[in-house]
Structure 1
Amino acid sequence: MSVRPWRDITRRQSRQIMVGNVPVGGDAPVTVQTMTNTPTSDPVATIDQIRRCEDAGVDIIRVSCPDVESTAALKQIVRAARVPIVADIHFHYKRALEAADAGAACLRINPGNIGSAERVNEVVNAAKVNGCAIRIGVNAGSLEKDLLEKYGEPCPEALVESALDHIKLLQDRDFHEFKVAVKASDLFLATAAYQQLAEVVDCPLHLGITEAGGFVGGTVKSAIGIGSLLWFGIGDTIRVSLSAEPEEEVRVGFEILKALGIRNRGVRVVSCPSCARQGFDVIRTVQALEERLQHIRTPLSLSVLGCVVNGPGEARETDIGLTGGGNGKHMVYLSGVTDHTIEDADMLDHLVKLVEAKAAEIEAANEAAAVAAA
């Protein structure tokens, strides 16, 4: 394959920390996070939601711990989860101590907001003893009063100054296992703050456009904000904040990474918007394929084009391709080469079987290569 320098992304160099058994920063893959919305005090409902997120491929999950009932349930949740759990404790330093003891892999806390230096010491010591990381989460909607008075309004400089103040509290206590977020619902504000922060710290950065909105609007805002930062090499872990189920946040997060070629997971579908030339119902076919192929984790590509205008060209670039033809018969391409035709009635099931077979073939080849290299 020819070298394509215009696709290169030079990633910002950051320190690597561990969130449980997941590396964040350095040369580790960019991780995808989400947050549960069930009452954490209900471990059964929370674990059920975590399972759905795990099935979608999530790397790290945050749960809110606003009260002692939540941290009491956290031990059961941590035991059941297959991914590291971040405990979001906001201003309650005692909840941080309880969450660390319950097995949380990371504490989401702004150390400057929990009170006295003694309280900060207690939280840092608990994190050290229990092997917890800390996520500093600066948000334009909850900036400190003195910074709002100083700058007059939320601005990139205010978010960065807040982050640096919280970072200093940890570094002064010889604690360095932290990552930082400077989120805002205004994507211009958020991206400018992340760009400024990236210039002055070496810690991993957690990206997000907070309160982005509903599924469609929030996806667009997040893709623009998070995507532009990742494109310029900024970001080590991401959360897409949507007013939607958390597993949908995970899927959108992976789609952003997939679109940038940063991390590939599952089937990358190339499909046309459809027009009067289409030889089959492209829209419904693609919707059905996306639903039925969610279980595939092996990276591979599938093109679904309604006619022969762009279909053959796209099919040459994908593992499996389908191009609409006349009389209800459509051409199937394998590895970019025309292979056979398929009729409307059999098309959907046939494509699913082809993708599953290709995924199994790729997995077997990877396993054989791993054995040979061992």
Structure 2
Amino acid sequence: MFKREDTRVVEVGNLKIGGGNPVVLQSMCNTKTEDIKGSIAQILRLAEAGCELIRLTVPTKEAAFALKEIKAASPIPIVADIHFDYRMAILAMENGADKIRINPGNIGSRERLQAVVDCAKERKIPIRIGVNSGSLEKEVLEKYQGRVTAQGLAESALANLRLVEEMGYQELVLSMKSSDVLMAVEAHKIVAESCPYPLHVGITESGTVWSGNIKSAMGLAMILGEGIGDTIRVSLSADPVEEIKSGRLILETLGLKKGGIHVVSCPTCGRTDIDLISLANAVEKLVQSYPDKSLKLAVMGCVVNGPGEAKEADLAIAGGKGVGLLMKHGEVIRKVEEKDLLSALKEEIEKYPD
């Protein structure tokens, strides 16, 4: 099996994908690419949240031409997403795209695909070959009695990959998306057996912040946990910044990204004499302002078990009736009124060494 450390290294702008390099976190703008100011503003917000690679749709000439100005203002590499028109892929590369995403089956004739590959080869621009369970080739569906299967998804992905390989290009990343979590997991396992290229992983059309996060966390954890996957996107029907926040937490939880404040909080019980739910949510929001801090923070609901449960945390709060204990490495350092707990915690976070 080709795991992260075994795959080829593909360079996208200043990023190195594959070959054991850190898993890259990406998202996609939901602005109209022709809206240059709006697209740049969203990219800057995403980059601040931790996005490392951003994709923009390029359905028109105006969108392709807009890439030049967007690229100049973007702190992170740009991927141009092309669906049908091969000319848009070429225009996007001519206007500064660091990478393009295509589904070869949607591009048209072999000659048109060859024109895209030749342009990418000339400019040394990587291609992400992306296939989707919702648009499998007719012959693949017929082979499996009209059903979409993990095997069929994998076969389609590998066939499209080989097609571009035959055209003499190997600066490739492969993705195969499905909204079915278990199908996506199985397809990635099949492909990883024979594919030496980096894999972009995600559960497509996963849903809202609530349902999409659950599906994405399950699917990505199962795939990444196998040592498979070099870039990820959490696809949500939400502000793209939410995708980055969720993706960062998934990678941090799996030990695939360093940094960030890891918050643990108790589920509350009858002993809780503090508004722990509001406090925990406020703490979770607070720590997002410190992406470069690396520590574990516990929010506990009572002073009976809280100190013991928080011993392994770097910083902790244990709430009481109208008050709370502020702790560092399991030792009580301050007793604070409930209304001042958040601000006191903020002070300690800022003093904590990076």
Please give the TM-score of this superposition, normalised by the length of structure 2.
0.95
Matched, 1:137 2:130: yes
What CA distance in whole angstroms lies between the structure 1 residues aligned with 2:304 and 2:77? 47
Instruction: For 1:71-110, list aligned pairs within 5 A.
Output: 71-110=64-103
User: Which residue is equivalent to 2:192?
Assistant: 198
Match of 1:161 among 155, 172, 178: 155
Match of 1:128 among 121, 126, 131: 121
Structure 1's 211 and 354: CA in aligned 2 closer, same or farther, altered over 3 A?
same
User: Which residue is equivalent to 2:290?
Assistant: 296
Residue 169 of structure 2 aligns with an amino acid whose one-letter code is: F
Stretches of structure 2 that go unaligned for 5 or more consecutive residues are none
SS at match of 1:297: coil
Would the aligned equivalents of 1:105 and 1:131 in 2 still touch at CA under 8 Å?
no
What CA distance in whole angstroms lies between the structure 1 residues aligned with 2:149 and 2:305? 45
Would the aligned equivalents of 2:303 and 2:324 in 1 still touch at CA under 8 Å?
no
User: Which residue is equivalent to 2:334?
Assistant: 340
Structure 1's 165 and 244: CA in aligned 2 closer, same or farther, altered over 3 A?
same
Match of 2:300 among 301, 305, 308: 305
Aligned-residue offset at 1:100: 0.6
Would the aligned equivalents of 2:5 and 2:18 in 1 still touch at CA under 8 Å?
no
Would the aligned equivalents of 2:23 and 2:231 in 1 still touch at CA under 8 Å?
yes
Aligned-residue offset at 1:284: 0.8
Aligned-residue offset at 1:262: 1.6
Would the aligned equivalents of 1:11 and 1:232 in 2 still touch at CA under 8 Å?
no
Residue 81 of structure 1 aligns with an amino acid whose one-letter code is: S
Would the aligned equivalents of 1:103 and 1:130 in 2 still touch at CA under 8 Å?
no
Structure 1's 323 and 11: CA in aligned 2 closer, same or farther, altered over 3 A?
farther
SS at match of 1:148: helix
| Deviates further, 163-172 or 244-253 | 163-172
Instruction: For 1:185-224, list aligned pairs within 5 A.
Output: 185-224=179-218
What CA distance in whole angstroms lies between the structure 2 residues aligned with 1:22 and 1:202? 18
Aligned-residue offset at 1:308: 3.6
Aligned-residue offset at 1:343: 1.4
- RMSD over aligned CA atoms reads 1.5
Residue 19 of structure 2 aligns with an amino acid whose one-letter code is: G
Matched, 1:320 2:353: no
Would the aligned equivalents of 1:279 and 1:306 in 2 still touch at CA under 8 Å?
yes
Match of 1:257 among 244, 251, 254: 251
Would the aligned equivalents of 2:53 and 2:79 in 1 still touch at CA under 8 Å?
yes
**Residues 53-96 of structure 1: per-residue CA shift (max 9 Å, x gap):** 11110011111111111111111111111111110011211000
Match of 1:357 among 348, 351, 354: 351
Residue 303 of structure 1 aligns with an amino acid whose one-letter code is: A
What CA distance in whole angstroms lies between the structure 1 residues aligned with 2:176 and 2:304? 45
Matched, 1:51 2:44: yes
Residue 139 of structure 2 aligns with an amino acid whose one-letter code is: D
What CA distance in whole angstroms lies between the structure 1 residues aligned with 2:212 and 2:126? 28
User: Which residue is equivalent to 2:54?
Assistant: 61
What CA distance in whole angstroms lies between the structure 1 residues aligned with 2:122 and 2:312? 51
Aligned-residue offset at 1:292: 2.5
Stretches of structure 1 that go unaligned for 5 or more consecutive residues are 1-9, 363-374
Matched, 1:266 2:260: yes
Structure 1's 343 and 67: CA in aligned 2 closer, same or farther, altered over 3 A?
same
Question: How many residues are treated as equivalent by the alignment?
Answer: 350
What CA distance in whole angstroms lies between the structure 2 residues aligned with 1:312 and 1:198? 45
SS at match of 1:200: coil
User: Which residue is equivalent to 1:239?
Assistant: 233
Aligned-residue offset at 1:336: 2.9
Structure 1's 347 and 92: CA in aligned 2 closer, same or farther, altered over 3 A?
same
